[in-house]
Amino acid sequence: MKPQATLNTERLILRAFTDEDAPRVQSIVDDKRISDMVSNIPHPYPENGAITWIQDSQQRYENAENVIFALVEKDTNLVIGAMTYKLLPNSEAELGYWLGVESWGKGYCTEAGRAMIAHGFIDLELTCVYARHLTANPSSGNVITKLGMKHTERREGSCGDKFASIEFYELLAKDYSAS
């Protein structure tokens, strides 16, 4: 498999995670406010959980299961979050992300999400991108709709290790506009 792409936006570099990112990831995701808003991050975060997650993500990329990008702030060269595609059958993918609390409210997820959507439809030739968020996290819904995704449903169900109300969205390639 070819190396994972690196994407650039105005303020961010989206690149593959490296083992050296583990201490920073560990410190970010150990914050309970992150696990409260993200379905698959436990609290407390397991010791050495970040290095295991990074190495697993590298393997999932090699197995064509996921594409996981570190969100790196250009000004500081610090990892501030992650954005992922879970690759699905029929050239479809589910977009997911998390962001460190100190970076909330600055538009980073929308900026990175636009780059991810373009990468997905143009480079990965996806036909549809899905996203979901916990209903209790409306800020995530705001990001998703800014990316041009359409709300499809709300339902109760399992989302990671949580059973909660979940909002679902999708964006079809035919409806995507790079503008």
Residues 116, 130 contacting (CB under 8 angstroms): no
Full-model pTM: 0.94
Return the structure tokens found at 163.
Answer: 């059973």
- What's the pLDDT score for residue 34? 92
Domains in the chain with CATH codes: 7-127 (3.40.630.30)
| Span 39-95, pLDDT tens digits | 788 889 999 999 999 999 999 999 999 999 999 999 999 999 999 999 999 999 999
* 88 strand-pairing partners: 92
Q: Is 32 helix (H, G, I), strand (E, B) or coil?
A: helix
Rounded to the nearest 10 degrees, what angle do helices 49-62 and 22-29 cross at? 110
- The string of pLDDT tens digits covering residues 95-111 is 999 999 999 999 999 99
Q: Which residues does 155 contact at the CB level (< 8 Å), separation at least 6?
A: 165, 166, 168
Question: pLDDT tens digit string along 150-169?
Answer: 999 999 976 666 678 999 99
Cβ neighbours of residue 179 under 8 Å, at least 6 residues apart? none
CA distance 129 to 134: 17
